[in-house]
Amino acid sequence: MVRQVNAFAGTATLLASAVLVSACGEAGSEDIGRASEALQKHGLSETFSTLGPIDPQGEFFQAQGTNGRSCATCHLPSEAWSITPRSIRSLFARTRGLHPIFNPLDADNPDTLDASTLRGRREGYSMMLSRGVFRRGGAPRAGAEWELVAVDDPHGFANLNRLVQWRRALPTINFPLGSATVNWDGGNSVGADQRAGLVNQATRNVTGGQQGAPAPAAVIEEIVDFESSLFTTRVFVPGVGRLDECGAEGSPELLALQEKRAGRWDLFDAWLDLAPGSCSHRGADKKRAQIARGQELFNAPKAPGGSCAGCHDSANNGTNVQNLTFDIGTASAQARTPDLPLYTFRNRATGETRQLSDAGRGQVTGLWSDLGAFKTPTLRALAARAPYFHNGIAETLDEVIDHYEVNLGFVFTAPERRDLLAFLEAL
Ligand code: HEC
Ligand code: HEC
């Protein structure tokens, strides 16, 4: 099996590339020294491709359109195939905001963007730079059960005829165990056919996000084959070591061998009640047992509505096997931060109104009940790709848990919260 060492969670891309080189046996000892220091401090996520070594010349990494962007511009191997605000800021600093990722397509407001000065670019791309979100949206869906009756957009671009919806780049990983819902709102889904949805997504990205002519079918097929071959998980946690030792199953190779099934997560079963000193030293074994306790909290009914694993039910992956989307309050008026828009939707039949910062699945289906609902995403390699949720409102995994306590009635004691966090950080 081919191992691709791709990601140092929370460290610079430069370091990750040093590790890529060291994997080929060409790095100097200094690079390797820095790499192992970072490993001990930040941990590591890795990608395994079922197609073998990753070819950086592949179509996923090539600009397909006219604006210099490729799929890998926004889906970085070193960030679990998403992109963090930290990397976007570093690209801005290195290129004075002239890197192709900075395109009016994702500006706060393309009408008022002053791309001719450094300051204009910094101010005009504030949403990408501050929280790593990209601008999506369009005309409110025609013929919907709802109508848009009021708009408050701090950037002044959205209006009654134009929704602006800010979205984090979803990681392009673990699809064989994933759902057929493609995109946060399922906007590119083709029924229950995941591959057709991914083909649709890639086709539209080349003509939209990359501003190209439609790509040849062979290019789209290569891109979809490639992304469907990627498995990414955390493999190393500081103070613990590798996550596939002593019977645990925390590695992308092991994930690739799993069948897609709904149910209990069991990655760390071998570490349940691990006696200190029975795997390695006592301190590490205590942390292993903690991760396993966190897994059990994730599996257990800790809210009136059920468990974390009840929605994130693709075992050891986290999407929903029935392709379900849910409204968990991430687009609610209470959760809104001042930089996000706020929309008022009215139900055409009942006159009832709802305020949301993003229409979610409701914009795709037109259904009142789908407003504010989003795809249930994979939860692997979370540590490599903060912030969280479609709009990046949770900066840390701790804030994710806060959100569930406030919005879904989950209750965790302080020690339980530490256990659950240890588990989420080990995914
Ligand atoms: C400018 C940044 C950018 C570029 C370039 C880009 N993406 Fe994305 N990608 C995103 C964002 C943002 C989302 C989430 C959008 C949404 O769901 O509303 C996303 C979502 C996706 C998804 C959905 C994943 C899921 O779990 O549903 C896939 C698949 C994907 N991208 C693949 C690609 C491919 C293939 C390319 C190249 C053809 C590409 N992306 C180019 C930013 C980008
Ligand atoms: C009712 C279904 C449901 C339950 C219960 C649920 N989730 Fe989620 N989860 C979702 C959905 C839907 C999203 C995406 C929401 C969004 O981004 O707007 C999500 C997103 C997340 C994310 C962010 C992932 C990312 O890529 O940004 C994390 C982490 C997460 N959930 C962990 C948990 C944990 C831990 C629990 C239990 C405390 C839990 N979830 C319970 C449906 C659920």
Residue 265 has what pLDDT?
98
Is beta strand 342-347 parallel, antiparallel or unpaired with respect to 163-168? unpaired
DSSP letter assigned to residue 263: S
DSSP letter assigned to residue 169: P
Residue 31 has what pLDDT?
63
Is beta strand 342-347 parallel, antiparallel or unpaired with respect to 146-152? antiparallel
Q: Say whether pTM exceeds 0.85.
A: yes
CB contact at 8 A, 236 and 44: yes
CB contact at 8 A, 297 and 419: yes
Q: What gap in Å lies between CA 326 and CA 305, rounded to an integer?
A: 12
Contact residues for 67 (Cβ-Cβ < 8 A; gap 6+): 100, 103, 105, 210, 211
Q: What is the pLDDT along the chain (427 residues), one digit of tens a residue?
A: 334 444 433 332 223 333 333 333 344 566 666 777 788 888 999 999 999 999 999 999 999 999 999 999 999 999 999 999 999 999 999 999 999 999 999 999 999 999 999 999 999 999 999 999 999 999 999 999 999 999 999 999 999 999 999 999 999 999 999 999 999 999 999 999 999 999 999 999 999 999 999 999 999 999 999 999 999 999 999 999 999 999 999 999 999 999 999 999 999 999 999 999 999 999 999 999 999 999 999 999 999 989 999 999 999 999 999 999 999 999 999 999 999 999 999 999 999 999 999 999 999 999 999 999 999 999 999 999 999 999 999 999 999 999 999 999 999 999 999 999 999 999 9
270 lines ligand 2 (CB under 6 A): no
Q: How far is the CA of 376 from the centre of ligand 2 (A)?
A: 6
412 lines ligand 2 (CB under 6 A): no
166 lines ligand 2 (CB under 6 A): no
Q: Whose CA is nearest to atom 34 of ligand 2?
A: 308
Q: Whose CA is nearest to atom 14 of ligand 2?
A: 376
Q: What gap in Å lies between CA 184 and CA 218, rounded to an integer?
A: 26
Residue 32 has what pLDDT?
66
CB contact at 8 A, 323 and 179: yes
Dihedral (Cα; 95, 98, 99, 102), 10-degree rounding:
130
Is the link from the previous residue into 56 a cis peptide, with omega within 30 of 0?
A: no
At residue 260, the 3 state secondary structure works out as coil
Ligand 1 residue neighbourhood (C-beta within 6 Å): 69, 71, 73-75, 134, 136, 167, 169-170, 172, 182-185, 198, 201-202, 205-206, 209, 223, 227, 375
311 lines ligand 2 (CB under 6 A): yes
End-to-end CA distance of the chain: 21
Ligand found nearest the CA of 79: 2
Which atom of ligand 1 is nearest the CA belonging to 197?
29
Ligand found nearest the CA of 199: 1
Which residue out of 67, 175, 198, 201 has the highest number of ligand 1 atoms within 8 Å of its CB and is therefore the one to mutate?
201
Which atom of ligand 1 is nearest the CA belonging to 185?
17
Which atom of ligand 1 is nearest the CA belonging to 69?
5
Q: Whose CA is nearest to atom 21 of ligand 1?
A: 170
Q: Whose CA is nearest to atom 5 of ligand 1?
A: 71
